[in-house]
Protein backbone atom coordinates (compact mmCIF):
# COMPACT_ATOMS: atom_id res chain seq x y z
CA UNK A 1 0.00 0.00 0.00
CA UNK A 2 1.23 3.48 -0.68
CA UNK A 3 1.72 6.00 2.08
CA UNK A 4 -1.66 7.74 1.73
CA UNK A 5 -3.64 4.53 2.19
CA UNK A 6 -4.53 3.18 5.59
CA UNK A 7 -2.28 0.41 6.83
CA UNK A 8 -4.26 -2.39 8.45
CA UNK A 9 -1.95 -4.47 10.58
CA UNK A 10 -1.90 -6.70 13.62
CA UNK A 11 0.07 -5.22 16.47
CA UNK A 12 0.46 -5.48 20.17
CA UNK A 13 -2.60 -3.98 21.89
CA UNK A 14 -0.29 -1.84 24.03
CA UNK A 15 0.73 0.24 21.02
CA UNK A 16 -0.11 3.90 21.43
CA UNK A 17 -2.74 5.55 19.25
CA UNK A 18 -0.23 8.04 17.90
CA UNK A 19 3.23 6.78 16.90
CA UNK A 20 4.74 10.15 16.00
CA UNK A 21 6.24 11.01 12.64
CA UNK A 22 2.78 11.64 11.20
CA UNK A 23 1.38 8.15 11.85
CA UNK A 24 -1.98 7.58 13.53
CA UNK A 25 -2.88 4.13 14.86
CA UNK A 26 -6.40 3.05 15.82
CA UNK A 27 -7.29 -0.32 17.31
CA UNK A 28 -10.27 -2.14 15.72
CA UNK A 29 -12.17 -5.23 16.85
CA UNK A 30 -13.29 -5.99 13.29
CA UNK A 31 -13.56 -4.37 9.86
CA UNK A 32 -17.16 -3.43 10.71
CA UNK A 33 -15.84 -0.85 13.21
CA UNK A 34 -14.88 1.28 10.19
CA UNK A 35 -18.31 1.33 8.57
CA UNK A 36 -21.83 2.42 9.43
CA UNK A 37 -24.01 -0.29 10.97
CA UNK A 38 -26.96 0.94 8.92
CA UNK A 39 -25.34 0.51 5.50
CA UNK A 40 -25.73 -3.03 4.09
CA UNK A 41 -23.70 -2.38 0.90
CA UNK A 42 -20.34 -4.06 0.23
CA UNK A 43 -17.18 -2.56 1.76
CA UNK A 44 -16.29 -0.84 -1.53
CA UNK A 45 -19.42 1.35 -1.26
CA UNK A 46 -20.29 1.52 2.44
CA UNK A 47 -20.47 4.75 4.37
CA UNK A 48 -17.73 5.23 6.95
CA UNK A 49 -18.92 5.18 10.55
CA UNK A 50 -19.34 8.51 12.34
CA UNK A 51 -17.65 6.96 15.39
CA UNK A 52 -14.64 5.93 13.28
CA UNK A 53 -14.37 9.35 11.62
CA UNK A 54 -14.73 11.13 14.97
CA UNK A 55 -11.92 9.04 16.45
CA UNK A 56 -9.65 9.67 13.44
CA UNK A 57 -10.38 13.40 13.66
CA UNK A 58 -9.77 13.45 17.43
CA UNK A 59 -6.45 11.64 17.21
CA UNK A 60 -5.29 13.70 14.22
CA UNK A 61 -6.11 16.99 16.00
CA UNK A 62 -4.06 15.91 19.01
CA UNK A 63 -1.01 15.77 16.76
CA UNK A 64 0.74 18.93 15.68
CA UNK A 65 2.23 17.09 12.71
CA UNK A 66 0.75 16.43 9.28
CA UNK A 67 -0.81 12.96 9.21
CA UNK A 68 1.29 10.75 6.98
CA UNK A 69 -0.25 7.33 7.54
CA UNK A 70 -3.40 5.95 9.15
CA UNK A 71 -2.72 2.56 10.74
CA UNK A 72 -5.70 0.40 11.59
CA UNK A 73 -4.75 -2.29 14.08
CA UNK A 74 -6.67 -5.56 14.00
CA UNK A 75 -6.16 -8.96 15.67
CA UNK A 76 -4.15 -11.22 13.32
CA UNK A 77 -6.84 -13.93 13.27
CA UNK A 78 -9.42 -11.48 11.86
CA UNK A 79 -7.34 -10.12 8.97
CA UNK A 80 -8.26 -10.80 5.33
CA UNK A 81 -6.00 -9.41 2.59
CA UNK A 82 -8.74 -9.10 -0.06
CA UNK A 83 -11.02 -7.13 2.25
CA UNK A 84 -8.13 -4.93 3.38
CA UNK A 85 -7.34 -3.83 -0.17
CA UNK A 86 -11.00 -2.88 -0.77
CA UNK A 87 -11.30 -1.13 2.59
CA UNK A 88 -8.05 0.82 2.09
CA UNK A 89 -9.29 2.00 -1.30
CA UNK A 90 -12.68 3.00 0.17
CA UNK A 91 -11.12 5.00 3.01
CA UNK A 92 -8.75 6.71 0.57
CA UNK A 93 -11.73 7.64 -1.68
CA UNK A 94 -13.59 9.09 1.31
CA UNK A 95 -10.76 11.35 2.42
CA UNK A 96 -9.87 12.36 -1.15
CA UNK A 97 -13.52 13.36 -1.78
CA UNK A 98 -13.65 15.46 1.39
CA UNK A 99 -10.29 17.09 0.61
CA UNK A 100 -11.68 18.12 -2.80
CA UNK A 101 -14.82 19.55 -1.15
CA UNK A 102 -12.73 21.56 1.35
CA UNK A 103 -10.51 22.91 -1.43
CA UNK A 104 -13.62 23.93 -3.37
CA UNK A 105 -15.09 25.75 -0.34
CA UNK A 106 -11.73 27.43 0.36
CA UNK A 107 -11.51 28.67 -3.24
CA UNK A 108 -15.07 30.01 -3.09
CA UNK A 109 -14.30 31.83 0.16
CA UNK A 110 -11.18 33.41 -1.35
CA UNK A 111 -13.08 34.50 -4.50
CA UNK A 112 -15.87 35.95 -2.34
CA UNK A 113 -13.32 37.84 -0.23
CA UNK A 114 -11.64 39.30 -3.32
CA UNK A 115 -15.02 40.27 -4.77
CA UNK A 116 -16.06 42.10 -1.58
CA UNK A 117 -12.68 43.80 -1.23
CA UNK A 118 -12.66 45.06 -4.82
CA UNK A 119 -16.36 46.00 -4.58
CA UNK A 120 -15.75 47.95 -1.37
CA UNK A 121 -12.81 49.79 -2.91
CA UNK A 122 -14.89 50.68 -5.97
CA UNK A 123 -17.72 51.98 -3.79
CA UNK A 124 -15.24 54.08 -1.80
CA UNK A 125 -13.85 55.47 -5.06
CA UNK A 126 -17.33 56.35 -6.35
CA UNK A 127 -18.27 57.95 -3.01
CA UNK A 128 -15.05 59.97 -3.04
CA UNK A 129 -15.68 61.11 -6.61
CA UNK A 130 -19.22 62.22 -5.76
CA UNK A 131 -18.00 64.01 -2.64
CA UNK A 132 -15.11 65.64 -4.53
CA UNK A 133 -17.29 66.82 -7.40
CA UNK A 134 -18.39 69.57 -5.05
CA UNK A 135 -14.81 70.82 -4.60
CA UNK A 136 -11.33 70.64 -6.11
CA UNK A 137 -9.65 68.22 -3.61
CA UNK A 138 -10.57 64.75 -4.90
CA UNK A 139 -7.56 63.01 -3.25
CA UNK A 140 -8.28 64.72 0.05
CA UNK A 141 -11.88 63.38 0.06
CA UNK A 142 -10.75 59.93 -0.97
Task: Write the pLDDT tens digit of every residue in 71-130.
Answer: 899 998 999 889 899 999 999 999 999 999 999 999 999 999 999 999 999 999 988 877
Higher-confidence residue: 87 or 7?
A: 87
* pLDDT > 90? residue 66: no
Please report which residue ranges of the chain form alpha helices under DSSP H: 50-62, 81-132, 138-141
Characterise 69 by phi-psi region: left (phi > 0), alpha (psi -120 to 50), beta (else): beta
Cβ pair 125, 139 in contact under 8 A:
no
Whole-prediction pTM value? 0.66
Give the pLDDT confidence score for residue 69 in this predicted structure: 85
- Cα 108–66–82 angle (5° rounding)? 95
- Give phi and psi for 19, each to the nearest 5: -85, -15
Amino acid sequence: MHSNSPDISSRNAKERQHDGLGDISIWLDSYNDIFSDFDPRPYSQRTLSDDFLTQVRKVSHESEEKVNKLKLLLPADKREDKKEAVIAKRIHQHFKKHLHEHKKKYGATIRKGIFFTVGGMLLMLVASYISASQSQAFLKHM
